[in-house]
């Protein structure tokens, strides 16, 4: 699952760095790849500005995910509560 999340974030940040568009693109990626539509993303925080996103926190399927971007590389971790 974490590999799919990373690919979704790479897809989203490749399209746009705008935080609101990243949210939409990640959900779009999951819809295209056949993700479970019953589960929704709960976006908690983004760090950056109106044009660029550097890191963020979101929840999906009861797990909290943290990501941060350095250059073109995205690192993703999850925390099982």
pLDDT per residue over 7-59, tens digit each? 999 998 888 888 888 889 988 898 888 877 778 888 888 887 656 778 889 98
> What span, in angstroms and rounded, lies between the C-alpha atoms of 34 and 37?
8
Using a cut of 0.75, tell me whether the model's pTM lies above it. yes
Nearest-10 Cα torsion for 81, 71, 33, 50 = 80
- 53-60 and 63-70 strand pairing: antiparallel
- Contact between 27 and 39 under an 8 Å Cβ cutoff? The reply is no
């Amino acid at each position: 699952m974490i590999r799919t999340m990373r690919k979704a974030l790479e897809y989203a940040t490749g399209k746009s760095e705008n935080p609101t568009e990243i949210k939409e693109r990640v959900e779009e990626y999951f819809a295209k790849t056949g993700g479970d539509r019953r589960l929704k993303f709960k976006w908690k925080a983004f760090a950056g500005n109106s044009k660029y996103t550097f890191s963020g926190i979101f929840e999906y399927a009861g797990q909290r995910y943290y990501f941060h971007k350095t250059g073109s590389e995205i690192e993703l971790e999850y925390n099982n509560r």
